[in-house]
Amino acid sequence: MIHYRLGKLADLMLIYPSYAGEFPVDERKTIEQLEKLLAKGDYQLVIAENISPSDEIVRIGFAFVLKPKLYDFLWLDYLVIEKDFQSKGYGSQFFDYLLQCYSNIKGMYIEVEIPDGVDVNKTRRVSYYERLGAIKLPINYHLPIEKGSMAMSLYIKPVHHQVSNIDLDEVLMDIKITQRIIHGDYPHLENVWSNIFINSPQVPDMI
């Protein structure tokens, strides 16, 4: 049976090797940075575990998410499914759980690497999130990293099946709220924001 729980600071040491193995060094946080984020409360570690009939507990995966107080969105920062459980549907289940777990949200934002024609995993991630119903936003998006920023695609998975007329100015505000919390230790956020802008005036209706 799959069980989901909020992770604690003590869980960081256990999951960090898997986390570090999935993300390049310039895209990931140190344990110290993650500890500070988790201590704030809005940033959470969610762990998925399989509990056997004999009560054996095996970690399937984990996610770092941000749910800012007073705001109606969820931000998926990282999602990892352990290698032994990949390609078995657990990622989709975890994704759906996160959307159901946090009430009164318009949707969940997801940062996705831009395919480069070389790394097939980047193309697969795009296809994966699109199969889950995530919609690419017409935003020139940049992820803050320690030494500058990285161009990425920004997607949103709406909670409701039909969403129209997304306010892109509101999306830009959500980006700033998120990056202030997650990347607030970087002194160059203002420079990053100067590279983030709307590519087109409107998002088409999404069904």
Q: Which residues contact 78 (CB under 8 A, 6 or more apart)?
A: 19, 22, 23, 28, 63, 64
Show me where the domains of the chain are located.
Answer: 2-198
Q: Which CATH number fits domain 2-198: 3.30.70.100, 3.30.360.10, 1.10.3720.10, 3.40.630.30?
A: 3.40.630.30
Reference 150, options 22, 19, 26; nearest CA is 26
pLDDT (tens place) for every residue of the chain, 207 residues total: 899 999 999 999 999 999 999 888 888 899 999 999 999 899 999 999 998 888 789 999 999 999 999 899 999 999 999 999 998 999 999 999 999 988 789 999 999 999 887 777 778 889 989 999 999 999 999 999 988 999 999 999 998 755 566 889 999 999 999 999 999 999 999 999 999 999 865 544 443
CA nearest neighbour of 71 among 175, 197, 142: 175
